[in-house]
Amino acid sequence: MSEGATAVPKPLAGKVALVTGASRGLGRAVALELAASGAHVIVTARSTRGHSTLAALPRTTVDDTADAIRAAGGQATPLRCDHTDPTQVEAVIEHIADTHGRLDVLVNNAWGAHEGGAGAGGGPEVWDEPLEGLRNMLLAGAYSDYVTSLLALKHLMGGQGHGLIVSTTWHTDEPPGWLPYEVSKAAKNRLVYALGHKLRDRGVTVVGVAPGWMRTEVMLQHHTEQELAGQTETPHYAARGIVALALDPQVSRHTGRILDVGELADLYGITDLDGTQPHWYAEHQRKKQVE
């Protein structure tokens, strides 16, 4: 910067964000993009340095995410938290209240229901599904979103009268797929709808963001870049959509809705890292109509 030049403030400077499940994948990308826009980002997950929940991906922890943010000139605080445990979640929220006194953006992204070798389907018939599958996914999805959102509202967002709560999710109007996954995502989506309407007059907006097929670290363990080319997107695409929502002064118009990333691209002009604007959901809907 030349002498006398004034630094342009970043649009989210002074804002505080909490991103759950931020050790890898979409959560990591959201944390990086929010920090790049100036927010101080609290990143949580169960994976910490030396104790990753995925042995094959030892460098995907909240500490690694925080290091990447700081290396890029941003601000981050890594905290270990299992978001299915209300005691741990409340400790995180109280830390934010004591340290920052505010919470502007909450991104509910924690998942982990596919760990431990869990795969799609337990047999040729729907009744062959392992009965614990739904319980695990509800805990890791809708329940963790429910706990984190309510505690954030209780200690910070409800009283401050403003804020954005985002849940990363999936459209459930697609042809039915893996049964427990479908039911768990439907629960997340209904939570978005119900909370959005209950908080409409409190200044807090609640939305769901549905990405397309993402090239996450886990996905790239099973497929090559060449196999995924042309039909996938990076996690930064949806992450940029979430930042756009955080910057929108009229974001309350979306409360209670599930927005797919292609729709966010049309609304806000966001692009993926390569400059493209994939519309996976819209293209899939068109194919269904043709069939």
Instruction: Give yes or no for a contact between 65 and 28, defined as CB atoms under 8 angstroms apart.
Output: yes
The answer to whether residue 79 is domain-embedded is yes
Q: What pTM, to 2 d.p., does this model score?
A: 0.90
* Active-site pick, 143, 146, 181, 237: 181
Q: Which two tokens stand for residue 74?
A: 């941003």
Radius of gyration from C-alpha coordinates of the chain: 19
**Least-confidence region, from 131-135, 139-143, 185-189, 222-226:** 222-226
Instruction: Give yes or no for a contact between 31 and 76, defined as CB atoms under 8 angstroms apart.
Output: yes
The values of phi and psi at residue 210, to 5°, are -110, 110
The answer to whether residue 217 is domain-embedded is yes
The answer to whether residue 9 is domain-embedded is no
- Helical pair 280-290 and 261-268, crossing angle rounded to 10 deg: 120
Q: Which of 287, 290, 281 is nearest to 233 (CA)?
A: 281
pLDDT category of residue 15 using cuts at 50, 70 and 90: very high
CATH number at residue 87: 3.40.50.720
Amino acid at 179: L
The answer to whether residue 143 is domain-embedded is yes
pLDDT per residue over 215-268, tens digit each? 565 555 555 666 566 667 889 999 999 999 999 999 999 999 999 999 999 999
CA gap 58, 155 in Å, rounded = 34
Per the structure, the complete domain to which residue 99 belongs is given by 16-115+126-290
The answer to whether residue 41 is domain-embedded is yes
Active site residue 181: yes
The secondary structure element, H or E, covering residue 163 is strand 163-168
The answer to whether residue 23 is domain-embedded is yes
Q: Which two tokens stand for residue 150?
A: 């309510």
Helices (H), the chain: 25-36, 62-71, 86-99, 132-138, 144-152, 158-160, 179-198, 217-222, 225-228, 235-247, 261-268, 280-290
Query: pLDDT value at position 158?
Result: 95
CA gap 60, 48 in Å, rounded = 8
**Least-confidence region, from 111-125, 171-185, 202-216:** 111-125
Angle at Cα 237 formed by Cα 59 and Cα 274, nearest 5°? 95
The answer to whether residue 259 is domain-embedded is yes
pLDDT per residue over 32-84, tens digit each? 999 999 999 999 998 777 766 555 555 679 999 999 999 999 999 999 999 99
Query: pLDDT value at position 25?
Result: 87
Tally the domains of the chain. 1
The answer to whether residue 6 is domain-embedded is no
pLDDT of residue 2 exceeding 50: no
Instruction: Give yes or no for a contact between 16 and 104, defined as CB atoms under 8 angstroms apart.
Output: yes
The mean of the pLDDT values for the chain is 87
Q: Which of 92, 71, 100 is nearest to 149 (CA)?
A: 92
Q: Which two tokens stand for residue 233?
A: 């997107």
